[in-house]
A = this chain, B = another copy of it.
Amino acid sequence: MVRNIVRGGIAVLGSTGSIGTQALDVARALNMRVAALAAESNIALLEAQAREHSVPLVAVRDTRAADELAKRLRDTRTRVVPGEGGIRQAAVAPGAETVVVAVVGAAGILPTLDALEAGMRVALANKETLVCAGKLVMESARDHGADILPVDSEHSAIFQCLQGRAVAERLILTASGGPFRGMDAAALKSVTPEMALRHPNWNMGRKISIDSATMMNKGFEVIEAMHLFSMPLERIKVLVHPQSVVHSMVEYTDGAVIAQLGPADMRIPIQYALTYPERDPAPAGTLDLTAVGALTFEEPDEGTFPSLGIARRAAALGGTACAVLNGANDTAVRMFLENRISFDMIPALVGAALDKLPIEKNPSLQDIISAVDSASGFVERMCS
Contacts and interface: CB of A to CB of B under 8 A. Distances in A.
B256 A262 contact: yes
Contact of A239 (B258, B265, B284, B289): B289
A205 interface: no
A98 interface: no
Interface residues of A, number: 49
Contact of A255 (B161, B254, B282): B282
Given A163-B164, A258-B258, A282 B294 contact: no
A336 interface: no
A277 interface: yes
Copies of this chain assembled into the complex: 2
A282 B296 CA distance: 24
A263 interface: yes
B255 A287 contact: yes
Nearest to A251: B286
Contacts of A45: none
A258 B157 CA distance: 9
Interface string A274-299: 01011111111111011011111111
Interface string A252-269: 111111111111010010
Contact of A160 (B258, B292, B295): B258
A271 B253 CA distance: 12
Closest 7 CB pairs of A and B: A164-B164, A294-B294, A255-B282, A289-B297, A295-B295, A257-B261, A254-B279
